[in-house]
Structure 1
């Protein structure tokens, strides 16, 4: 009596091969799925710090902008970095210096009475270039010769000329900074004094003249 075909050894072998192949495919798919899930998690975790850092950078930028935008008026001290600036007064003049040998303006002088204090830990060399007048997009530089003349007494002696003058920590100096401007500019009401720290002006502040 012959055995049914499904009991023959070759049939059993074929069925076994088919079953083992199916199991292998299923295992391969599971490994691929796990690998993809792991890769997605790694990429997601790697991207997360980037968003966090960018938000910190935005906050730092906003803080810098807020500090730069501080504006005070005449008589109010303004702290810029390790320096303290105070605009004590403003006047217009056609000439400055000793009456026997004055320096005359090409247009109209704006004479600023300024106090500078060094709150840092090292001596600072201050110059009239630390001061600029701003009107809209325009910038006006100080007249160094007129500034020296304005700080000269009738006896010819110069005090606190704001010309490459060294100021030690905790010391302050008071003197005059002069700008030679067109008369209509000098008499305008929207001029602002920009003060800065260092020759390159790494930090700046604004003081309204009126």
Structure 2
């Protein structure tokens, strides 16, 4: 009888024993809610960060493009400056129509004296040149292939044919060089009408090739 009562008491005690709170349904549900909510917030925050970064990325890309364009402009400017420095001038040798023509330093000024010319008394620039025939046959410079532009960019009247005779020490005007044998080199002068200080351009053009020389003249 006593043993039966003990069993009944034990069962009653076990039935009345409370479960730990962390095993209860309401606590599990609460934890699940918090966890799900945290994951949702994390995902939302990640998307927000991505969205925030997009404008920065685009702006950075635009800045990079601008930097590249600026760098390209600088490089183009440098190339143009190099081209200017390479532009033929005094001391340069140009090849045209089988001739090598070098424009030497030491130009002088003279006066055109021809009473039958409307240019009589005009000032003329006397530019020393060296001419060499680099072709394999007799060759000379065709004066009709030469044009001269003054500082204003306007074609100047040709005057070198007024100086076609041999000068001192057998140094000719370039117009006086009728023909040269292969590999022959001579010194001469090119006479250009003076039209003020500035850049003069000597243009050689035979419709197949065009060469231009820039000469800065100061009186």
TM-score band w.r.t. shorter chain: 0.5 to 0.7
RMSD: 4.9
> TM-score, normalized by length of structure 2?
0.51
Residues 15 and 196 of structure 1: CA distance in aligned 2, closer, same or farther (over 3 Å)? same
* Structure index of larger Rg: 2
Tell whether 2:31 aligns with 1:25: no
What 5-or-longer segments of structure 2 have no aligned partner?
Answer: 1-15, 95-101, 167-171
SS state of the match for residue 175, structure 2?
coil
Give the aligned partner of residue 174 of structure 1.
Answer: 188
Give the aligned partner of residue 105 of structure 1.
Answer: 117
Cα contact 1:127–1:162 (8 A) shared by 2: no
Q: How many residues align?
A: 177
> TM-score, normalized by length of structure 1?
0.53
Give the aligned partner of residue 198 of structure 1.
Answer: 204
Give the aligned partner of residue 4 of structure 2.
Answer: none
More strand by share: 1
More helix by share: 2
Alignment of 1:122-141 (within 5 A): 126-128=141-143, 130=146, 132=148, 134=150, 136=152, 138-141=154-157
Cα contact 1:80–1:204 (8 A) shared by 2: no
Post-superposition offset of 1:93: 0.9
Q: Which has the higher contact order (CA 8 A, sep 6+)?
A: 1
d(CA) in 2 for partners of 1:61, 1:51: 15
